[in-house]
Amino acid sequence: MKVKQHFCFLATFYLLLAINTIVLAQAQIIKPTGCDPCKNNELVELVKLDSTIQLDIRYATDNNFVGKAVYPQPRAFLQRPAAEALLSAHRWLKEQGYGLIVYDAYRPWTITKLFWDITPPDKRVFVADPSTGSIHNRGCAVDVGLYELCTGLDVEMTSDYDEMTERSFITYKGGTVEQRARRDILRIAMEREGYFFVYPEEWWYYDFKDFRDYGILDIPFSAIAPPGESKKSESGLTR
């Protein structure tokens, strides 16, 4: 009887030890707090500032590297100063015959944690470490591409959006001359006034210069603002 009790005690002990180990391992990655003090959060919805910005929010669809929708709605938000800087880039691009497509902007921290967990270690250069948080979590990063004003269609770059290969690097010398030229004009538009700078491994990903002034956020889209009605673009067409 005593032997059975001893084994029961050991089994319980090792089970509790295993559970405690798992809990400790999970606790190593917690939501970071960000700056202290931080600027006031003022996330604004991009299409409400300018309806000619196109949205292709891949994370609200199954057309992304996760293979399923992780956003409940196809919406894009930035902190107001970053949003205003993006609008300036968009207006400059119109003079060149292009407009901006937004693939992603503000991203709740919970989604950054999900991306990290499902990405193989050798591909994690393409995702943010949740222990420090993503600049997307601060509302100060945006993923963008180009569309042609004359057709309204998006243009090809050297890689697909969110492609985890060297073709996504801003210095990639492959692809066609036209693809590289469009990638470069996007960079000129985003960096010309000094508000944004590109992430070298992803031609589409730009950080706002003052991102350190804002905290890590985990606010769902529905808590920022209710979805608005579709607005009319300058051409009179709804988007």
Positions annotated as catalytic residues are 202
Between β-strands 196-199 and 202-208, what pairing exists: parallel, antiparallel or unpaired? antiparallel
Structure-token pair, residue 220? 């769902």
Neighbours of 32 (CB within 10 A): 15
SS3 144: strand
- Number of alpha helices (DSSP H) and beta strands (DSSP E) in the chain: 6, 7
Report the amino acid identity of residue 124. Answer: R
Distances in whole angstroms, Cα of residue 102 to Cα of each of 11, 33, 45, 51, 187:
54, 27, 12, 12, 14
Report the amino acid identity of residue 4. Answer: K
Residue in the block written with tokens 């509302």: 139
End-to-end CA distance of the chain: 75
